[in-house]
Amino acid sequence: MRHLSQTSLLGRLLLENLPEHSGRYLVAILAMVVVAATTAATAWIMGAIVDTMTNPEERAKVILVAGAVAGIFIVRGLASYAQMVLMARAGNRIVAQKQAELYRRLLEQDVAFFSRTESSDVLVRVTQSAQMARTVIDTIVTGFVRDLLTLIGLVAVMFWQQPFLSLVCLVIGPLGIMGVRRILTRVREVMSQEMAGIAEIFRVVQETSTGTRVIKAFALEGLMIDRMDTAVRAVEKRANKMVRLEAATTPLMDTIAGVAIGSIVLLSTVSFFGHAAGTPGQLMSFVTAFLMAYEPAKRLSRMRVIIEGGMVGVRMMYDLIDRPRGMSEAADAVDLPVGAGVIKIDNVSFGYADGQRVIEGLSLDLPQGGTTALVGPSGSGKSTVLNLLLRLHDPDEGRILIDGVDLRQVRFAALRRKMSYVGQDTFLFSGTVRENLRLVRPEADDAEIIAAARVAHADEFISALPKGYDTTIGENGLFLSGGQRQRLAIARAVLRRPEILLLDEATSALDTHSEELVRDALLRVTRGVTTVVVAHRLSTVLRADLICYLENGKLVEAGRFADLMAKGGKFRNLYDRQFSTGMELAEAE
């Protein structure tokens, strides 16, 4: 991923966003031109106001000047309103588009990205960086159009009314630019630290929300408060630094303005080259223009500071947008053919980013329409096999075929339409029970939803909820027990009507009674469905058509339950350790 320079990054930001919203920005720029012109006209007419006030007997001129003043301010007010509304709409649209683009890019990343990246960092990139991109664009447009044109118009008035005094101001003005350049060296560093501090605040809040039980069980409130206090103080400290850096331009510009005004007052009483300093109206117009030029000049001096700070967020945004897709479809990707879900694992080897192999030379032909159980010690690669089947990762070597097609050649949507998955870490969405179940099949009617819930033995507890299937379950099913969440996840998988069903410790959160009920239900659901089950508790896999014992990523033993028990190998040892009371073999038959 190439690292763009600050100038290139800024150019990319403007080129990607300004043309699309050119209509709004063009009208806003025209409004800014009007604001700049009327601001200069305000300074210009001050001379006429003073002159007419010294000659009140010229009634016609007084009325004309009064009307002109009113007209200038009305037009300026309307133009300012149009500019603010149009800029805000364009800016809000850019934020919305960038946040949507960032989220789409997130969904294109593989599981490894989310394993390596903290969610707080992701939140900062999606929320803060998009807002900072909008701030940079707004600052540039308003600075280079409204403020610059206003300053040019007011300087023109100054030169027209008092050329010599204007030259004096131009000699003093560049001193402010030199001072601002010294401030910029600190802005980028402080802003980067502030973004990191915001991410830490997000992190603490997230951990508090998801780990409340652990925090309270181990009395960690004090520790979490200390972490939050530290993060908040760090952000406060850096925010104060940014305020000081941005505000430093104000005393600098005030000092320069004070010296300039004092010089003007002194020089206005002196004649140069035999000419007087000008009429009272000209001098008033000049002073008004000078004073009105102070604010746009100050905003322009601070513009670089604001842009430098905002570019930190812009870089974070583009770092995510430009990140290569973790998994991509082949250019000629196809849909899976209509089939029964025949799975073949052909000499597959796979390792994660650390380089250590998790799967080594694994070959399996899974029974079509039957159940394959993957058992073995922790870290043997069981769940990794399911991840490869879901194509959350690609094998380093070998291939996986479904109905004769290599998964690398299959469209993601087509592959996952064929599958249902229930993991040990059950995840539910915020919303109602009905909404969570219907997500996987939006066209499913209420009768199908209830039938799927009954298969998972979830209908009974759902019906007992305050609003039944329309009960809100909270973030990730917060208002449900672990067993209830898992049964909802199983019902969701059942409703999908898959050709391939993947179960990763799907009954781990159930009590013995519920596990027995769900196990019996799954026997009905998996009939004729190619099913892959990962289990530590062997009671859930004794009736499997094929049991595969994995160890260190390799297939050690495979066969039916009775055959493995008769062989007396590692599966038998595992079984004996779990069923030390001596379960009869007939139970599995």
**pLDDT tens digits for 10-55?**
888 888 888 888 888 899 889 888 988 888 888 777 777 776 766 6
Q: Which fold has domain 351-418+500-510+528-582?
A: Rossmann fold (3.40.50)
Q: What pTM value is reported for the model?
A: 0.69
**pLDDT tens digits for 239-256?**
777 666 666 655 655 666
Among the listed residues 9, 7, 68, 2, the one whose alpha carbon sits nearest the alpha carbon of residue 315: 9
Give the CATH architecture of domain 6-321: Up-down Bundle (1.20)
**pLDDT value at 272 more than 50:** no
pLDDT exceeding 70 applies to what percent of the chain? Answer: 79
| CATH class of the domain comprising 428-497 | alpha beta
**pLDDT tens digits for 405-433?**
899 898 888 888 888 888 877 788 888 99
Among the listed residues 120, 115, 1, 550, the one whose alpha carbon sits nearest the alpha carbon of residue 353: 115
Residue 584's pLDDT band, with cuts at 50, 70 and 90, is very low
* The one-letter amino acid at 103: Y
**Planar angle of CA 354, 360, 366, nearest 5 degrees:** 125
Q: Where are the domains of the chain?
A: 6-321, 351-418+500-510+528-582, 428-497
* 6-321 and 428-497: identical CATH topology: no
